[in-house]
Structure formats: C-alpha cells, structure tokens
Amino acid sequence: MANVPDNTKKNVISEIFGEMNYNFCRFMTKLGAHIVYLAVTVLSGIKKFFSRIFGKVINKIGEKSHMRTYFLQRKKEFIEEKDKVSDFFFWLEEDTESAFVNEGFFKATKVAVIHILKGMWHARGYAVRAFNWILPIISVAFMLSVINQVADLSYGVGVEYKGQNLGILSTESEYDETEKSLQERITYVEGDEKVTITPKLAVKLITDEADTVTPDELVDKLLINSDADIVEACGVYVDGEFLGAVKDRQTVDSMLSRRLSRYIDEDVKDVFFDKDVELSDGLFLTNSIVESKEIIDTFGSSNATAVYYTAEKGDTPSGIAQKYDLTTAELAAMNPGILTSLRPGDEITVSVEEPYLSVNVVKQETYNEAIPYETVRTETDSLYKGDSRTVVKGVQGEKRVVADVVYHNGIEVSRTVLESAVLSDPKAAQVQVGTKPLAPITGIKITGTGIYSWPVAGGYISSYMGDGRGHKGIDIAAPYGTTIFAAEEGVVTKVQKIKYGYGYNFYIQHNDGTLTHYAHCSAIYVSVGQKVIKGEPVAAVGSTGQSTGNHLHFEVIKNGVFKNPLDYVK
C-alpha cells in the first residue's frame, strides 16, 4: 500500500534539494565576493596604517635629531585638518546667517546646501574611504543574518493525493513509517487485489507547525481520499505487529484489564504484560476488521516453547524436573545423558506451555539473608597433608533485605535490591591445614574376604551405592594422598584427568569381564595399556572434580551394569 517506488521518491526529493542548493550557492558566491573585497580592503588599510605611522617612526629611530621634527610635523598636519573643519563650519554659519538676515530663509537654505555640497566634494576622498570600509561590513552582517535565518528554516516532505495537500511530514523516515502503518491496516486474503495508493511527494518549507501531520494522521487522510472501503475501528498491535482491527474496543480493553486484575493483591507492587499491547483508534480498511472474540482467543492461547535452564552447583535431575513440573524421564528424554553427567553451567532444555500473553508480577519482598563468613586457614605440621582441623567455628551474619522481585508465570526472573541493613556481623572460621608429608604406603597386607581386595590402605565407607541420589558406587573416605590399590589383576583401559565430574579417574579391565572405576584421585600412577596385579599401588586419594572431600569413588561394572561394590569387596 502507498506503493511509491523508492527510486522515484528519492529522485523527486533530490531534484528539489538540488535546485535549492544551486540557487543558494549562486547567492553565496556573490556574497563571497564582497567578503573577499572586505578582506583585501582591511589588509590594504592595515598595511598603509603601519607603513605611514610605524614605518616612518621606525625609520626615524636612528635619526634622533629628526624625531622631534617628525612629531611636530604630524601635529601641524592634524591642527591644519582641524582648522579646515572649524573654518568650514564657521563660514557655513556666517554665510547662512548673513543670507538669512539680508535675503530670507530660502536664500539662507540655498547657501547652506551649496556650502555642504562643496564641503562633501572636497572631502570625497574621506567618503570613498569610509564607503570602502562600511559596505563590506554591511555585506558580512547581511550574510550572517541570511545564514542564521536559513539555519532556522525547517523543511519536510509534503504529501499531495488526488489534488489535495494532506500535510507535511517532518522527516523522510516518517513517510516510510506511514507506508508501513498503512500496509498493516490491510488484511489481504487469497484472491484480493492489492490496494495501491500513490501520493505525490515534494520538499516543502514548514512555516506553520499546524501544517505538519503525524504518520497515523496521514494514514487516515490517505484512506479517506482513497477509493477503498474504510471504517472507524480500533487497531490491535502486539509488539508492533498488527493483529487486526475491532469495532468494539471496550470488549478487548475490559478483557485485558480483567486479566491483569487477577494478579493484583496487597503484596503486588505492579503487574504488566510481557509484550507491548497497543489499542489505537483510527480508520481501517473494512477487510482488516476481525471479531473481538478472535483477538481475545489469541490473547488466551498458549505456545509450546523451548525454555533453557542453567544448572547450578547442587542441582540434580530430579530437582530440575520437579521445578518445571516434569518427570525425571521426561527431562531425560529432552536431555540425553543428564542422568549420568550433570555439571554446573550445563544448559538444560525443559518444555513448558508459554501463554501467548504472559503477565509479569512485581512484588516487594522483605526477608532475612545470611552473610557468609570468611575462613582463615593456618598451616600446621601436626596434621598430615590434606587433613584439616577447625579450631574456631565460623558464624554466619544476617541482614534484612527489601527487594522488588519480578515473577514471569510464577517463576522468578529478576530481583532488584532496594535496601539492606546488617542485623549481625559474620564471624570468621579458623582452620588448621596439615603440612606433614604422607609418603605412599606400600607392602601393606590388603584385607577383605570378597572376590576383590579392599582398594584403599585404610579408610571407611562414607557413602553407599544408591544413597537416595542414584549413587553408582561407594565412597571410601581417607586422608589426602592415601595409597589406592588395584582391587584385582587387569589392564588399565582409560585414564582421565579432568577438572569436573570424576576429576582424576581411570578404569581397569579384569579377566572376569568386569571393570573397576577409581575416581577423584589426587594422583594416578598408571597409564593406558599397563598391566597391574592385585594389590599393586595405582593412585592416591584426593578430591578432584566435583567432590566435597578426600575420598575414593569406587565402582564395579559388569556387562554395562553397575554392581554394588560391597558384593565384591567386603
């Protein structure tokens, strides 16, 4: 709609501005001639001034005997010029008064005029000199005035359609906006003939702000003057997208108000839609009219959209699934491998029903928040390396917080702290960290009555298989650096040294078809392909990867199935 070829529109505007530019350049060229003349005159005058005054003075500096004569001569010339002027006015007064007394007023006037004309003729040199200075100054003043007036002029795009001036748009970009708005007011269906409105454009001087129009006003005028069927209605826009026009604005407006009012209570500070909804009255094509129910149904519809969640420390698959009202199986179907590997920072895909028009709720909440304490560590040789001892327990502080919390479909999306006040200060914890070396332990008789040997030189079970969180092995807690032994004869098949998950870990393949997995080690003494015997030192206890303390995570895997290690090691 309003289908004006871009090239035609730009050519018309360019030609008009080109002609204005040509005429203005001719005027500025003539004005520039006066400026050049003024510059030449000024420079010439300055040159003559210095040459006549200072030049002569400089030439006389070396002639001290003539200096006094020189200044006396200049004084004499000045007095003579002054006397000439005085004589002129003296004889003008005398002759005029004599003529008035003897021959009357008219004769006196004639005598005065003749005297003045003769005086001006004799002083024509001064007049010419003054004119040469004054005219360029006047030209410059005129030029500055013209430039100031031109700078204050405003031009716009005048729009004419079917012989009628519809108004002036302040900028060319506003016409592009008009074309877009006009097109949005038409709803074409298959078979409809495209409606074309081609106004005439011209650059015009804005002399009265009343002549300017907004894009919406211009759209109304174009529609009124077109042959298309139009009707007064209310356009519905969501995030700038035209959904259609309705005749009953009140119905749509009331529905939107009721939708927001459901979320208003004493704890709610503000409610608003997550999209920009605009209702705009105006003239619209008849075929752009839709039923109010259609708009309301659109507002009430839902879309299945992909939502992403970034995993944080302590997250579990079941916890994430519960947060988004999913089963663990549904979450696993969308995120293969999440049940065996979930690390902080992972982007998890969840699927939720997202309303077409969601409501954001702002609540002002007041709550207490813990202030974490610092931990001061000191070294001691009374403890083995990797061990620690808390001397003074830390105490968290507490502060009162007032914040604006924004909820989108019941899920918090942002939090802005307005104010906070400390209720109690935290107290630092004091921890001693051991530095006493712990050499690898060898030659120790391995205990255990199961099929496999106990894999650690001492230690105790700190976590069992399952353990309410899908734990796939057992955790054997032991001091940092404690020797880890091969539970059975075999070949090392895989060694990994990573900073997440299992950290430093490796696998040993045994002759009976089982695999044993050793994880969170501080050091690994074997390599891939190496044969090991039962009870051979293979690594040292540590806390690498996603671990909360020094321990060995030990797994037994047979035919791809995780077995309870306690059935093999006792």
**What pLDDT, on the 0 to 100 scale, is given for residue 263?**
86
**What pLDDT, on the 0 to 100 scale, is given for residue 25?**
57
Residue 8 predicted with pLDDT over 60: no
Q: Rounded to an integer, what distance in angstroms lies between the CA atom of residue 534 and that of residue 255?
A: 76
Q: How high is the mean pLDDT of the chain?
A: 77
**What pLDDT, on the 0 to 100 scale, is given for residue 301?**
85
Q: Rounded to an integer, what distance in angstroms lies between the CA atom of residue 521 and that of residue 508?
A: 14
**Tokens 């709803």 belong to which residue?**
187
Long-range contacts formed by 158-162: CB under 8 A, 24+ apart: 158/201, 158/202, 158/203, 158/204, 159/199, 159/200, 159/201, 159/213, 159/218, 160/199, 160/200, 160/201, 160/202, 161/197, 161/199, 161/200, 161/221, 161/222, 161/225, 162/225
Q: Rounded to an integer, what distance in angstroms lies between the CA atom of residue 450 and that of residue 442?
A: 21
Q: Rounded to an integer, what distance in angstroms lies between the CA atom of residue 202 and that of residue 122?
A: 59
- Give the CATH fold of the 360-437 domain: Resuscitation-promoting factor rpfb fold (2.20.230)
pLDDT tens across 57-72, in order? 556 555 555 566 666 7
**What pLDDT, on the 0 to 100 scale, is given for residue 35?**
65
Q: How many other C-beta atoms can be found within 10 angstroms of the C-beta atom of residue 51?
A: 11
- Give the CATH fold of the 302-355 domain: Membrane-bound Lytic Murein Transglycosylase D; Chain A (3.10.350)
Cβ burial, residue 539 (10 Å; 0-12/13-18/19+): buried
**What pLDDT, on the 0 to 100 scale, is given for residue 15?**
57
**What pLDDT, on the 0 to 100 scale, is given for residue 97?**
72
Give me the helices (H) in 287-439, please.
Answer: 292-300, 317-323, 328-334
Query: What is the chain's percent helix, strand, coil content, to nearest 5?
Result: 35, 35, 30
Least confident interval from 275-279, 282-286, 368-372, 385-389: 385-389
Computed from CA positions of residues 530, 535, 539, 545, in that sequence, does the dihedral angle turn out positive or negative? Answer: positive
Rank 31-45, 221-235, 369-383 by mean pLDDT and report only the highest. Answer: 369-383
User: Residue 560: which residues within 8 A CB-CB, separation 6 or more?
Assistant: none
**What pLDDT, on the 0 to 100 scale, is given for residue 36?**
61
Rank 172-186, 290-304, 336-350 by mean pLDDT and report only the highest. Answer: 290-304
Residue that wins the pLDDT comparison between 35 and 117: 117
Residue 440 predicted with pLDDT over 50: no
Residue 396 predicted with pLDDT over 50: yes
pLDDT tens across 240-294, in order? 888 888 998 999 999 999 988 888 888 888 999 988 999 988 778 787 888 999 9
Which pLDDT band holds residue 524 (cuts at 50, 70, 90)? very high
Distance set, CA 322 to CA 61, 312, 316, 318 (Å): 105, 15, 10, 6
Which pLDDT band holds residue 76 (cuts at 50, 70, 90)? confident
Q: Rounded to an integer, what distance in angstroms lies between the CA atom of residue 80 and that of residue 82?
A: 5
Q: Rounded to an integer, what distance in angstroms lies between the CA atom of residue 35 and that of residue 422?
A: 73
Q: Rounded to an integer, what distance in angstroms lies between the CA atom of residue 464 and that of residue 553?
A: 10
Q: Residues 449-462: what's their mean pLDDT? A: 80
- Contact present, 182 and 1 (Cβ < 8 Å): yes
CATH 2.40.33.10 fits 439-567, yes or no: no
**What pLDDT, on the 0 to 100 scale, is given for residue 444?**
41
**pLDDT cut 90: percent of the chain above it:** 17
pLDDT tens across 20-50, in order? 555 555 556 556 655 666 666 666 767 666 6
Q: Rounded to an integer, what distance in angstroms lies between the CA atom of residue 286 and that of residue 187?
A: 9
Residue that wins the pLDDT comparison between 51 and 478: 478
Give me the helices (H) in 123-214, please.
Answer: 124-152, 172-184
The single-letter code of the amino acid at 325 is D
**What pLDDT, on the 0 to 100 scale, is given for residue 523?**
92
**What pLDDT, on the 0 to 100 scale, is given for residue 19?**
56
CA dihedral 453, 457, 458, 459 (to 10 degrees): -90
**What pLDDT, on the 0 to 100 scale, is given for residue 151?**
60
| Phi, psi values for residue 185, rounded to 5° | -85, 0
Q: Residue ranges of the domains in the chain?
A: 6-150, 229-300, 302-355, 360-437, 439-567
Q: Rounded to an integer, what distance in angstroms lies between the CA atom of residue 549 and that of residue 552?
A: 10
The angle, 0 to 180 degrees and rounded to 10, between the axes of the packed helices 249-261 and 292-300 is 20
Residue 312 predicted with pLDDT over 70: yes
Cβ burial, residue 422 (10 Å; 0-12/13-18/19+): exposed
Which pLDDT band holds residue 411 (cuts at 50, 70, 90)? confident
The angle, 0 to 180 degrees and rounded to 10, between the axes of the packed helices 64-103 and 105-122 is 160
Q: Rounded to an integer, what distance in angstroms lies between the CA atom of residue 166 and that of residue 178?
A: 13
